[in-house]
Structures are given as structure tokens and as C-alpha cells.
Amino acid sequence: MKTPLRHLIHALGLVGLFTLNAQAAEPAKPETIRIAVPDLSAGSKHSAGGVVDVLRDQQLLEKEFAKDGIRIDWHFFKGAGPVINEALANGQADFAYLGDLAAIVGKANGLDTRVLTAGVRGVKSYLGVVPGSGIKTLHDLKGKRVAVFRGTANQLSFASALASQGLSERDLKVINLDFNAANAAIAARQIDATWGLSSLLSLRERGLVELPVSSRDLQGAGSTQAVLLGTGEFIGKYPELVQRLVNAQERAARWLRDEHNRDAYVDLVASNANWPRSILADDLAQEDLAHYFDPRLDAGFVAQLQQGVDLAAKERLIRRSFQVADWIDTRFLDAALQQEQAVQAAR
């Protein structure tokens, strides 16, 4: 029996209605994906090291989203964590690569973020002191003028190092300086010491500082971690885009974890950041890259983050502690790793 024409028109109308409803339920894709990153470069190019420099060099995100007409906007901030938290709070960034303390402070202050992946783990920090000062241990810093970059992972790192020796910032005269200002101040002997990163190695080469202690000497106390954050709003609106971004990042992380690429990575960062190649190579010499750049939010990494949260609360860097387990969102990385395993198994 033939379907009456009016029934057919009614059915087609319902199909059209369902289609319109489905389209309305799916938000339009954004024109840009905005990523905030601390700028660690000492030159005219931008650099954050690690997975960020690889992503940008290989144009992995740009290639992934080109077919959608979505532009990747990288925003580099010299002010590091505090300025990036402002950008997140003002709705000016969708993702951010951040050190642990800045990410923790933002979350504790009410920023709606999720930890999507680890960025890097166990980054060494160094105590730089004026040559001939007689400072050999952290205990020798009592009453001394020490530069620390407050509000960043550097401050939490230093608090962790001090706590491992039964000390706190209250035992010292802490001065808030960013890395470049701190390096200039110690080279000019305007301060007694500074707690910093691998850029201090270049000052040591020039005889401007001594490096009596590193986080490696403290069994890892004072090392720093970094994470990839996504905003709750973007994740809620565009989970498929988040998955594709994390998939692309995993390709960069896989390249980084390959020991065959160690020299190429050092060359890349040395070029971008305008740092001496020897300094970067020296800083990474004892690192297992497969562990160093492991993106997994495994129990060890989560425990390290939780220790950071609890220490930040104890040192009154945040008002109260919170549970990292409620902050992380592993589903995108889990899917990316499963996809990678499937590809490897098919080869």
C-alpha cells in the first residue's frame, strides 16, 4: 500500500526537525584554540622547552586543526604562572602549560581547570650562591638574601627543598625576582643566593656563581613538575577537539621520549631559547627521557602533585588544600594512549 503524501511530508518534516535539533545541540567549532605558555627564552624567539617546543616545531596542532579552519594561537607570557592564571580567569586562554604551583594556586583560587596530562616531571633546580660566600648547604642560607620567583613553580620547589632540611622561608630573607633579574642580581653580588633552573649553569661556566646544591642532591626534593590544563568550559563544549589536541600532544611526547631524538631536542631548545647547547645537554645528561617526559597521570605523579598542594597550604601559598584526584581528568590521555597502543600493535 502506498504511503499517503501527507504522511510522507510529515515524516520528512520530523527528519528535518531532528536534524535541526542535533545541529543546535552541537556547538559551532571555535575559530581559534588559545594556548597560554610561560616564555623561558633568553632571546627573540619564544620557548617553553619540552613538549611545547616540539609541538610548535613540528606544527602538530596546526596540521591537526587546519582541516576545520581552526587557528592555533600560542600566547607566551614572560610573567609565567601568575599572568597565565589571569588570562585563564579572564577567559583569554583555553589551555595552559603550567608549572605545579601556578596551576595549584589557580585551582585553589577557583579557576575551573582540569589537569589533562603531565608535561614534564622531576625538573632539577639549583642553589646558586656568590663565589666564596661559604654557603655549602641550605642551612647556610639562614639570614641570607635569597631570590625566588614567587607565585611560580620555583617558589614551591624552594619550599619543598627547604622543608626536606627542616627549614622554611621564614628562616631567610626572601626577595621576589624573576629568573633573569635574579641571575643579574647574583652576578652583581646584590644578593647572597638564588634558587633557579638550568640557566644558572651558564653563570657557573663564567665563574659568576657556585652551585653547591641541586634537587638531585636532595633525593628529588625541590624538583618541579608541569601539567597541561584545560578549562572546564572548553572541555565541556568541545570534548572531541580536546581529544584531538591530546592525541597530537602524545605524538610530540612520544618523539621526546625517544633517546634517538635527545640531540635533536637539545638543538631545538638551544635555538629557540638562545641558551648555550652545552648547558641544556648538561642539565639533561642524567635524565631518563622516557620518564622525564612521560605524560601519564600515574599514581607517582598524582602523589607528587598532592604533596605540592599540601605543602602550598602549609606554607600559606594557598588558603586550603584540595584533592588532586578531583582535579585530574584522565579520559583524553587514556584514549590517546590506547590509540597509540593499537597503532603500534598493528605494525
Give the residue-averaged pLDDT of 63-92.
93
Q: What pLDDT is recorded for position 25?
A: 54
Q: Kindly state the percentage of the chain with pLDDT values over 90.
A: 78
Query: For the chain, what percent of residues have pLDDT higher than 70?
Result: 92
Q: What is the dihedral of CA 261, 263, 266, 267, to 10 degrees?
A: -110
Q: Residue 258 burial (CB < 10 Å; 0-12/13-18/19+)?
A: middle
Q: Burial letters for 36-69: b for 16+ Cβ neighbours within 10 Å, e otherwise?
A: bbbbbbbeeebbbbbbbbbbbbeebbeebbeeee
- 93 falls in which pLDDT band (50, 70, 90)? very high
The torsion region of residue 303 among left (phi > 0), alpha (psi -120 to 50) and beta comes to alpha
Is pLDDT of 12 > 50? Answer: no
Comparing 75-84, 178-187, 261-270, the range with the smallest average pLDDT is: 75-84
**pLDDT tens digits, 324-345:** 999 999 999 999 999 888 877 7
Average pLDDT of the chain?
Answer: 90
Check pLDDT > 70 for residue 26.
no
C-alpha to C-alpha distance for 176 and 186, rounded to whole angstroms: 13
Q: Are the C-beta atoms of 226 and 97 separated by less than 8 Å?
A: yes
d(CA 183, CA 191) in angstroms, rounded, equals 10
Closest CA to 308 of 97, 108, 114, 157: 157
Instruction: State the average pLDDT over residues 116-145.
Output: 96
- Which tens digit of pLDDT belongs to each residue from 223-268? 999 999 999 999 999 999 999 999 999 999 999 999 999 999 999 9
What residue type is assigned to position 264 of the chain?
A: A
Q: Is the pLDDT of residue 13 over 50?
A: no
Question: Can you give the pLDDT at residue 24?
Answer: 45
Q: Which ranges constitute the DSSP H helices of the chain?
A: 5-25, 50-58, 60-66, 80-89, 100-108, 153-164, 179-187, 199-205, 232-237, 239-257, 262-273, 277-284, 289-292, 299-314, 331-346
